[in-house]
Amino acid sequence: MNRLTYLINSVTLVLIAGAADAQFVKGNEAVRFLPDGTKTIETPPLPSATLGTPCPAKNPACTASGWRMVETAEGLLECTEIYARPGTCRPSTYGTEKRPRLWIVKLKGAWMQCELPDVLSKCVSTKALPNATIQ
């Protein structure tokens, strides 16, 4: 293998690894590893007020303000809402498709929405108006 081929293959591996790592937000308190090695995942609790009918992930009109990236027991999902109710989520397309996204994480006991999959990016309360970033 010549040096150029080696360099291209190395860069490709780094890009693939970087995209995979970016799907999970380090510092998200909602994802915890227990001493026995199992992983527990908490999703935002439903509010005490009654919510309307969920907007399904298959309806393109439901994502006008962007996808909510939520870590669930099924893995990282793109959802039309932060609660990840049944029917409102689909498998993540992060890294393969550019879309407006917000990352839903738990920081210091509060549910937040972050512009990037990084708790050091701009994060605001889930009660604030969203500011999705194309990713």
Answer whether residue 14 shows pLDDT above 70: no
Which ranges in 1-135 belong to alpha helices (H)? Answer: 3-22
Residue 23's pLDDT is 60
Q: Could you tell me the pTM of the whole model?
A: 0.77
Q: Which of 102, 85, 82, 107 lies closest to 31, judged by CA? A: 107
By percentage, how much of the chain surpasses pLDDT 90? 56
Average pLDDT, rounded, for the chain: 82
Longest dimension (CA), the chain: 64
CA distances (Å), origin 130, targets 11, 63, 84, 96, 113: 34, 12, 16, 23, 8
Look at 119 and 48; give whichever has higher pLDDT: 119
DSSP 53: P
How many Cβ atoms from other residues are within 10 Å of residue 92's Cβ?
Answer: 19
Average the pLDDT over 13-33 and give the result: 64
DSSP state of 129: P
Domain locations along the chain: 25-134
Is 55 in contact with 81 (CB distance < 8 Å)? yes
Joined tokens for residue 21: 């790592």
Share in percent of the chain as helix, strand, coil (round to 5)? 20, 30, 55
C-alpha R_g of the chain: 17
Name beta bridge partners: 90: 78
